[in-house]
Amino acid sequence: MTDPARESTPRHIAIIMDGNGRWASERGLPRKEGHRAGAEAVREAVEACNEIGVRYLTLYAFSSENWNRPKPEVAALMTLLERFLKTKAKEIGKKNVQLKAIGRLDMLPKRTRNQLDKVIAETSSNDGLTLNLALSYGSREEIIDATKALAKEVQSGALSVEEIDHDVFSSHLYTNNTPDPDLLIRTSGEFRLSNFLLWQLSYAEIFISPKNWPDFHKDDFRAAVEEYKHRNRRFGKV
Dihedral through CA 26, CA 196, CA 97, CA 73, nearest 10? -40
Residue 160 three-state SS? coil
Residue 238's pLDDT is: 56
Mean of the per-residue pLDDT values for the chain?
A: 93
Whether 6 has a pLDDT exceeding 80, the answer reads no
More confident residue, 6 or 105: 105
pTM, 2 dp: 0.92
- Has residue 235 been placed in a domain? no
Residue 236's pLDDT is: 65
Is 66 an annotated catalytic residue? Answer: yes
Chain segment 150-175, per-residue pLDDT in tens: 999 999 999 999 999 999 999 999 99
Chain segment 104-124, per-residue pLDDT in tens: 999 999 999 999 999 999 999
Residue 159 three-state SS? coil
- Has residue 121 been placed in a domain? yes
Residue 33 to residue 98: CA distance in whole angstroms: 27
Q: Which CATH number is 134's domain given?
A: 3.40.1180.10
Range of the domain at 207: 6-138+183-229
Domains held by the chain: number: 1
- Has residue 67 been placed in a domain? yes
Residue 173 to residue 139: CA distance in whole angstroms: 9
Is 127 an annotated catalytic residue? Answer: no
- Has residue 11 been placed in a domain? yes
- Give the mean pLDDT of 187-208: 97
Number of H helices, E strands in the chain: 8, 6
DSSP result, 96-154: TPEEEEES-GGGS-HHHHHHHHHHHHHTTT--S-EEEEEEEE-HHHHHHHHHHHHHHHH
Chain segment 15-36, per-residue pLDDT in tens: 999 999 999 999 999 998 999 9
Instruction: Give percent of the chain above pLDDT 70.
Output: 95
Catalytic residue chosen out of the listed positions 18, 132, 182, 220: 18
More confident residue, 161 or 235: 161
- Has residue 165 been placed in a domain? no
Catalytic residue chosen out of the listed positions 50, 66, 126, 195: 66
- Has residue 98 been placed in a domain? yes
- Has residue 79 been placed in a domain? yes
- Has residue 159 been placed in a domain? no
Chain segment 79-89, per-residue pLDDT in tens: 999 998 988 77
- Give the mean pLDDT of 92-112: 95
Burial class (CB in 10 A: 0-12, 13-18, 19+), 115: buried
